[in-house]
Amino acid sequence: MSSAHTSSASRAEQAAQRIAALAGAAEPGARLGTKEALRVLCSVSVGTFNESLRLLQARGQVTARPGPGGGVFVAAQSPMVRLGNSVLALDAQETDVADAVRIRNALDPLLVEDALWHASPADIAGLREQIDAMARAVGAGDPVAFVHANWHLHARIAAVSPNVLLKSIYKNVPGAVDEP
């Protein structure tokens, strides 16, 4: 990845954070300003601002309306979007990995219970494939392959659960070992 792309991405995130702070201080539906006024406020290029706006829209924080009276508005967020944004806002460096693993381990029984109740024969076959991959990694003395297979096993177990909130929290606990 080029340093220009990294710099652009960080500038886009910085602009998104600045606009998110404005949105956080305003009521849902409030007009934050025109795209151009906000772009100037953030001191970024049009392309960087558009990337920031896409980030904010994907997070459900703002909406953009074209035409007269249009601009950027504070989005009305559902409780699920607010929860997801609060999890994403946590700084992974401030979250102790041991705490994150402890939280995920506490959620494991709920996911396993869902897997027991809702797994199809195809789900069971997929889980067995991941367990076999873990066994092969142990036999080969490959700890990296074992960690990868273990992650995939947990992701498969989470995928079986019909509980969207549980899956979301489990997959997004900051500081946890991420998918390799």
**Which pLDDT belongs to residue 1?**
43
> Does domain 3-79 fall into CATH 1.10.10.10?
yes
**Which pLDDT belongs to residue 2?**
43
Contacts 24+ apart (CB under 8 A), 151-157: 151/177, 151/178, 151/179, 151/180, 152/179, 153/127, 154/108, 154/111, 155/179, 156/123, 156/126, 156/127, 156/130, 157/108, 157/111, 157/112, 157/115, 157/127
3-state helix, strand, coil in the chain (%, to 5): 70, 5, 25
**Which pLDDT belongs to residue 5?**
45
**Which pLDDT belongs to residue 89?**
57
Q: Which regions of the chain are under pLDDT 50?
A: 1-8, 92-93, 175-180
**Which pLDDT belongs to residue 28?**
85
d(CA 73, CA 26): 9
Torsion over CA: 127, 133, 137, 142 (sign): negative
How many residues are recorded in the chain?
A: 180
d(CA 137, CA 146): 5
Burial of 116: CB neighbours in 10 Å, binned 0-12, 13-18, 19+: exposed
d(CA 137, CA 132): 9
- Residues 6+ positions from 157 with CB-CB distance below 8 Å: 108, 111, 112, 115, 127
**Which pLDDT belongs to residue 29?**
87
Please give the structure tokens belonging to residue 117.
Answer: 């109740």
